[in-house]
Chains A and B, each alone.
Chain A
């Protein structure tokens, strides 16, 4: 794969024939594409982890037990009320303040001091807060009749959630969750502030070598737009299949028989 990209890059360079900025684009194509790959990896990884964390928090948030909903509320409030940049710095720079953590060996050297994992942790916690709030709204929006129907069939509470409420809730949040993923894509650019070479980081890296500020910033902007467009498209497709019951059936027009 990477050899193929290098070959493509060389071919594009000869094609550009020294015309700028195209030659520079072609030359740094592998680096930029690697950045795109890392950006996508960050959002997919933290998106999945975020959803896994979001589910219990959303469930805690809708209970009436203050010992459960208050911590969930506090979590959501903290992560939605502070800038993502602060959260990333808290994880990446902040954790080193605790000596106890620095002595944990593997956990510290391989995970908590690595910018990659710090970015994943910060993004996951952040998106979990937003998704939990979406999920809470969706769970409350599941039509009452469906829950009553499940109850009258004698389904235990856990089964009600597993078979009826949650599948419905996931269908309901899908459009809003698409927005959240786009916001996460935009937020992922902050990974570059903790030295990661995501699309933003790779772009700044290339600019430091070429001094072609605008050319590469605009290229990055274009690539972010492209990624956003693809993600939006993917969510449309997912919605088509998951919310199949909402599709307007295409019927052939049949003439009225009188």
Chain B
């Protein structure tokens, strides 16, 4: 495939896409854990909050969320400070994608938390562990094992959703393909190249997720067979 010297542009876009995906993954995981904690909290308003968050994000298109955050933040800043500040597309993208990821991750973490046998936590209490230590040393390591397949799928969705942020002008892979297609009048070539890069990223991610799963299951392999 002849990319007419636009190959490096696509690569720099890929780098932006990856940065966007991993930054959103980090904040999305934090939001997901917080959401799951809220969903299982003994305080009813917290549970309602978690349910509302989840329900809202399931029904609202990610594109709309990107636009709401991008334009909404600009308007909010303008109303608060009176000056027009254009919000960084990257920040808006990270916010939108982590909120969307977090909503689905809430469900994954919630069911994973419920799957951890109660005895594990009780044993930690019996050993005199503090709440935080119990969470960090007993619950979290097991949580990964159960949640990884679900989170892996969500990451693949997240990776593809990064393309939406190109709509508000972030120079990610999709945007660069658009620019290159406009310059060269070879849209098929460049969108196909972008599709190929997304596929390669997906394949690599799937391999990494598989490795992570194997690693997380290392103590369980014998028991499964």
Contact = CB atoms under 8 A, between A and B. Distances in A.
Which of A185, A192, A217 lies at the interface centre, i.e. has the most chain B CB atoms within 10 A of its CB?
A: A217
A217 B165 CA distance: 16
Which of B156, B162, B198 lies at the interface centre, i.e. has the most chain A CB atoms within 10 A of its CB?
A: B198
B72 A217 contact: yes
A151 B89 CA distance: 60
Nearest to B190: A94
B64 interface: yes
B75 A93 contact: no
Interface in B30-69: 55-56, 58-64, 67-68
B19 interface: no
B156 to A, nearest CB: 8
Given A78-B199, A83-B174, A89-B187, A228 B63 contact: no
B208 interface: no
Interface in B165-203: 166-167, 174, 177-178, 181, 185-189, 191-192, 194-195, 198-199, 202-203
Nearest to A93: B187
Interface in B120-169: 156, 160-164, 166-167
B6 interface: no
B59 A228 contact: yes
A225 interface: yes
A82 B160 contact: yes
Interface residues of A, number: 39
B72 A228 contact: no
Interface residues of B, number: 39
Nearest to B181: A93
Contacts of B27: none
Interface in A158-191: 182, 185-190
A224 to B, nearest CB: 5
B187 A94 contact: yes
B67 A217 contact: yes
A186 B62 contact: yes
B71 A90 contact: no
Which of A82, A94, A188 lies at the interface centre, i.e. has the most chain B CB atoms within 10 A of its CB?
A: A82
A230 to B, nearest CB: 10
25 contacts: A77-B199, A82-B160, A83-B161, A83-B164, A83-B174, A83-B198, A85-B164, A86-B163, A86-B191, A96-B187, A97-B186, A97-B188, A188-B61, A189-B63, A189-B64, A190-B63, A214-B68, A214-B72, A214-B75, A218-B68, A221-B56, A224-B59, A225-B56, A225-B60, A228-B58
Which 4 pairs show the lowest CB-CB distances between chains A and B?
Answer: A228-B59, A94-B188, A189-B61, A83-B163
Interface of A: 77-78, 81-87, 89-90, 93-98, 182, 185-190, 192-193, 200, 204, 213-214, 217-218, 220-221, 224-225, 227-229
